[in-house]
A and B are shown apart, each in its own frame.
Chain A
Amino acid sequence: MQKSLNIDPGKCTGCLQCEMACSLENEGVFNTSKSRIKVFTFHEEGKFVPYTCTQCDEAWCMHACPVDAIVVNAVTGSKDVISDLCVGCKVCTIACPFGTVNYNADSGKVVKCDLCGGDPQCVSACPTNAITYVDANATGLDKMRQWAEKTDNTVGG
């Protein structure tokens, strides 16, 4: 059974432990600016919203890549950037309607969530279980994908 990240903003306190865990895993440094999961703060509303790639089936990023540098991970279903192949053209960053593929000027490549190969570090770091890694069917992913479909050009495909 494929698993996916389930995010419950109601439980998030905005502590950014997830961002640090992500940057440590992927960049070897505590650096929230390099995290692939981002917590957005709604100050007036008093809400914190963690946000990252849903590994959507449509995978605009993957289809838009001109050099075949984004591929499906056969084990986790995540869409992974093959860093060696990425030329840094950024087309995927404008193609992804969720804004979850981002350009890293330091490396000259794009980065996105790859579920840490099946052991997402943001999940282990979260102190309130706002981020969990569960069976895809049990998450609100379908709802998020409904919105995604509004952006789809190729429903029949």
Chain B
Amino acid sequence: MAWTRQILRVNLTEGTCIAEPLNMDWANQYLGQRGLATRYLVDEIDPKCDALGPDNKLIMATGPLTGTMASTGGRYSVITKSPLTGGVACSNSGGFFGAELKSAGWDMIIFEGSSPRPVYLNIENESASLEDASEIWGKSCWETDEVLHAKHQDPQMRVACVGRSAEAGCLFSAIVNDLHRAAGRSGVGTVMASKNLKAVSVRGTLGVGNIKDPARFMESIAAGKKVLAENAVTGEGLPALGTQVLMNVINEVGAMPTRNMQEVQFEGAHKISGEAMLEPRASDGKPNLTRNGGCFACTISCGRISTVDREHFSVKEKPQYWGNSGGLEYEAAWALGSDTGVDDLDALTYVNFICNEDGMDPITFGATVAAAMELFEAGVITTANTGGVELKFGSAEALCWAVEQSAVSEGFGADLNLGSRRLCEKYGRPEMSMTVKGQEFPAYDPRGIQGMGLAYATSNRGACHLRGYTVSSEILGVPEKTDPLATEGKAGLVKAFQDATAAVDSAGLCIFTTFAWSLDDISPQIDSACDGDWSPERLVEVGERIWQLERDFNMKAGLTGADDTLPDRLLKDAAKSGPAKGKVCELGSMLPEYYQLRGWTTDGTLTAETRSKFGLPA
């Protein structure tokens, strides 16, 4: 129960939408969302297929708790083969779209094939149809949202769509839902656009019922909400400052990747921090932050709702950007700010708006601009490539120019839209790309937080903080404090975080709850909602099964243990300042133990015992 037990299969080549029952055996093994959809993907596509060809499939999946009153229970993930990494892509998003899809009666949608012409999928409860998208193709996510709402005349309808960047093949395009929430990473939007699928619009009025034990469920979610409310991070820090609560903290511990990860502390961090977003501006006396906003069912509400200063050069002549929209989260503030050396809060907010408007992952976009800036300062690319723009670290003007180019893939924007690895390879300097498996790093330098180095190297979707967020333990002391500069015990820590995260994702909950919740808090919520036994131990087992399944897919797709590494800059160039001064990331001292804990061979392959232990498909 809690699942709707119905999935929608959309064949874009044939133009068909067919309902089929959810595979409940798999639901028992993989729970939902991330895990369950990966099981379907593994079953249905050739791991070696072209990510942007018709043989790839794209799955939008909710979890059993999506659409319920469990705090943060509104999430969905997009699972497909990534064009950026060549491995599995799984991008998680909040907002309201996922809950609406569930409320329409669907656990997931599987898109297969490729449409001969641009289409969008319209769902109203059990009825689903592919509609002509010629009216919205070539439009931004924001315009698409507006046009579809006007067309269907339903303010309550929810839209997930791709912007112009994805249409032009930008390899890090996101799927944007509810205007400023995104399944952001790994180019899932690029895959969607490659199928000529512009948008999914959903109206669900059936609701989510089928709770196994409603009384116990309500008790356990009330207990969960209380824990979140009383926790300093989820009850105070995140509502007040958002994830940007981290900017000053991470900078102080010397783990703030700066200027394409050449440094570990950013002198301008305080100007772009969560605290800075509360400071009244000189021009109109209003702060950057208007208020916090929540995703569906979320009682933390870390979301930022912000404005750009109307006097700022980026929007001065553009009243369409004067209203409120999704503001800076820490990852965006870091990638667009510290990594490019730009400390202009309004510029970062504007660039973040554009990333939402045209659907680019701000982490990969920012990091790619950072790499381009390093190439420019090294003289590898010049004003001849940029049409005269001085693409230097710290230039807010260059950053704003870059995002406008990238959004529509014009001029140098087409180069940026390759992502940093392909960009740096194109210009003959691959070492300047700060990526793992082709995906750019997020905002924690692994020289200052050693466990994150291992988490990045082994993440199944390339460099990512959301596959195993040991920052919790190494910096914030949750569930217990470990030394960020030590490597001992980190293999086990990383594995534990990776497995628990896979389970939380697969339930349809937000990983930010784990600042306050352990699996002991989460387990009763799942167990009272879903058929079967969902003890904390079972969740760990399911989480690990998911991890192994993703790894297995990646190996079959052609990745190897050799890809479990970091750029030389992080392994060989010591941190220049802060507590980690003189340190490199000592990945080599953690990786073998990690492989052993995972049940893999020394070259990182799954052993037969491991495969059989978790019942992985052949």
Contacts and interface: CB of A to CB of B under 8 A. Distances in A.
Do A and B share a direct contact in the complex (Cβ within 8 angstroms)? Answer: yes
Interface of A: 13-17, 20-21, 23-24, 27-34, 43-48, 125, 127-128
A30 B156 CA distance: 16
Interface in B79-133: 96, 99, 103
8 contacts: A13-B292, A14-B293, A16-B296, A17-B69, A29-B208, A30-B67, A125-B69, A127-B71
A33 B156 contact: yes
Contact of B324 (A21, A27, A43): A43
Nearest to B100: A32
B69 A20 contact: yes
A43 B207 CA distance: 24
Given A34-B207, A125-B69, 20 more contacts: A13-B291, A15-B298, A16-B297, A17-B69, A17-B299, A24-B218, A29-B209, A30-B68, A30-B207, A31-B103, A32-B103, A33-B205, A43-B323, A45-B324, A46-B290, A46-B291, A46-B293, A46-B306, A48-B293, A127-B225
A28 B293 contact: no
A21 B290 CA distance: 27
Contacts of A30: 67-69, 103, 207-209
B206 interface: yes
Given A43-B179, A45-B323, A15 B205 contact: no
A31 B67 CA distance: 8
A31 B324 contact: no
B294 interface: yes
B297 A33 contact: no
B95 to A, nearest CB: 10
Contacts of A125: 69
Nearest to B222: A124
Given A30-B207, A44-B323, A13 B156 contact: no
B349 to A, nearest CB: 13
Interface string B177-205: 00100000000000000000000000011
A111 to B, nearest CB: 13
B208 A15 contact: no
Nearest to B325: A43
B305 A46 contact: yes
Across the A-B interface, the 6 shortest Cβ-Cβ residue pairs: A31-B207, A46-B324, A44-B323, A15-B294, A127-B299, A46-B290
Contacts of A127: 71, 225, 229, 299, 301
B294 A20 contact: no
B164 to A, nearest CB: 21
B296 A23 contact: no
Interface string B201-229: 00011111100000000100000010001
Interface residues of B, number: 37
B144 to A, nearest CB: 15
A34 B125 CA distance: 14
Contact of B293 (A13, A17, A31, A32): A13
A15 B325 contact: no
A54 to B, nearest CB: 22
Nearest to B179: A43
B301 A28 contact: no
A124 to B, nearest CB: 8
Residue of A16, A20, A30, A44 contacting most chain B CB atoms (<10 Å): A30
B295 interface: yes
Interface string B294-335: 111111010101110000000000000001110000000000
A69 to B, nearest CB: 24
Contacts of B291: 13, 46-47
A47 to B, nearest CB: 8
Interface in B263-301: 290-299, 301
A29 B207 contact: yes
A16 B69 CA distance: 9
Interface in B237-260: 239
Contacts of A27: 207
A23 B295 CA distance: 18
A36 to B, nearest CB: 14
B103 A15 contact: no
A124 B99 CA distance: 21
Interface in B137-168: 156
Interface in B38-90: 67-69, 71
A14 B303 CA distance: 11
Contact of A34 (B67, B96, B205, B290): B205
Contacts of A29: 207-209
Nearest to A21: B69
Given A30-B67, A30-B68, A31-B103, A13 B324 contact: no
A44 to B, nearest CB: 3
A125 B226 CA distance: 11
Q: Which of B71, B218, B293, B325 has the most CB of A within 10 A?
A: B293
A128 B228 CA distance: 12
